[in-house]
């Protein structure tokens, strides 16, 4: 057993639903977690870890709480990062979604949160489950491109914009230039080893917060070409993934619009199948 997996005393605030803690790497960011009741600080079991990435409302603790039933069923530790809006620009809502913003590498901040958690709890930190809804889904599928070897499974729920896995367009519409920006190339073989779910409500068809206008700071040529609605864009992402040999599971939830809670049943079923398989 490694030093970081040795028994660490846990007080009341380090069990169950934890407070929100500042990131040791960058205290502008923070995280909370859920430790299942069966976790034994003196035990040897290494628990699966699910990372839950919030959307634009930054409701990290609420998202965590919605997965407590899953955590108890599978004795899975939950980690919910919090990436506040308004970093550097008080009007910005999108920073973390594109992985890099004003020099901040949000993927690396999250990876350090995972390492920080693993200094206190016995978790499977090298390969995690990840779910993101809306803005969190933007983060999640781009994290798949950058760090597929750190993922056991990824669930991508109703992203507003998608990055397609080819180099016909520049990052973040496509992957052209990704290696120059992030210092690492795409690893398609590793992506094929990750269980991937694409999930959305069939009534998620509003376009008011999906279409990126030319005056947006995130405007890029081709950003709206993947479809008018989130449903169309997720189907385009599905086609792109299949074209490179990744076979995602596609789940549609009847009667659900843009509602993260409404799509959670198939997400939990997907993660359960991964852990049980």
Q: Are 172 and 215 in contact (CB under 8 A)?
A: no
pLDDT score of 1: 40
Helix (H, G, I), strand (E, B) or coil at 245: coil
Nearest to 161 by CA among 98, 90, 117, 215: 98
Output the domain CATH number for residue 105. Answer: 3.40.50.1820
pLDDT score of 174: 98
117 is in which domain, residue-wise?
3-276
Average pLDDT, the chain: 96
Low-confidence ranges of the chain (pLDDT < 50): 1-5
Place of tokens 């709480």: 65
Model pTM score: 0.96
Q: Are 75 and 39 in contact (CB under 8 A)?
A: yes
Domain count, the chain: 1
* Distance from C-alpha of 52 to C-alpha of 205, rounded to nearest angstrom: 24
pLDDT score of 218: 87
pLDDT score of 3: 43
* Distance from C-alpha of 7 to C-alpha of 1, rounded to nearest angstrom: 10
Distance of CA 95 to the CA centre of its chain: 14
Pairing type for strands 30-35 and 77-82 reads antiparallel
The pLDDT tens digits of the residues spanning 160-219 come to: 999 999 999 999 999 999 999 999 999 999 999 999 999 999 999 999 999 999 998 889
């Amino acid at each position: 057993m490694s030093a970081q997996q040795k028994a660490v005393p846990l007080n009341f605030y380090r069990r169950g639903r934890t407070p929100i803690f500042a990131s040791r790497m960058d205290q502008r960011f923070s995280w909370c977690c859920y430790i299942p009741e069966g976790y034994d600080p003196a035990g040897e079991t290494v628990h699966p870890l699910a990372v839950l990435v919030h959307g634009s409302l930054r409701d990290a603790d609420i998202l965590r709480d919605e997965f407590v039933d899953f955590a108890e069923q599978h004795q899975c530790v939950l980690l919910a990062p919090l990436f506040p809006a308004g970093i550097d620009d008080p009007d910005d809502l999108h920073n973390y979604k594109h992985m890099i913003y004003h020099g901040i590498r949000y993927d690396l901040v999250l990876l350090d949160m995972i390492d920080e958690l693993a200094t206190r709890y016995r978790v499977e930190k090298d390969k995690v489950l990840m779910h993101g809804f809306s803005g969190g889904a933007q983060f999640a599928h781009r994290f798949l491109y950058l760090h597929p070897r750190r993922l056991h499974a990824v669930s991508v729920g109703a992203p507003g914009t998608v990055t397609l896995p080819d180099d016909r367009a520049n990052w973040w519409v496509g992957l052209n230039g990704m290696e120059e920006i992030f210092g690492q190339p795409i690893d398609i073989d590793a992506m094929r080893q990750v269980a991937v779910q694409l999930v959305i409500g069939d009534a998620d068809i509003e376009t008011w917060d999906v279409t990126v206008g030319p005056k947006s700071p995130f405007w890029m040529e081709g950003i709206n070409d993947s479809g008018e609605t989130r449903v169309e864009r997720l189907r385009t992402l599905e086609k792109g993934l299949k074209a490179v040999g990744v076979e995602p599971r596609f789940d549609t939830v009847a009667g659900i619009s843009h509602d993260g809670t409404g799509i959670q049943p198939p997400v939990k079923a997907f993660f359960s199948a991964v852990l049980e398989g």
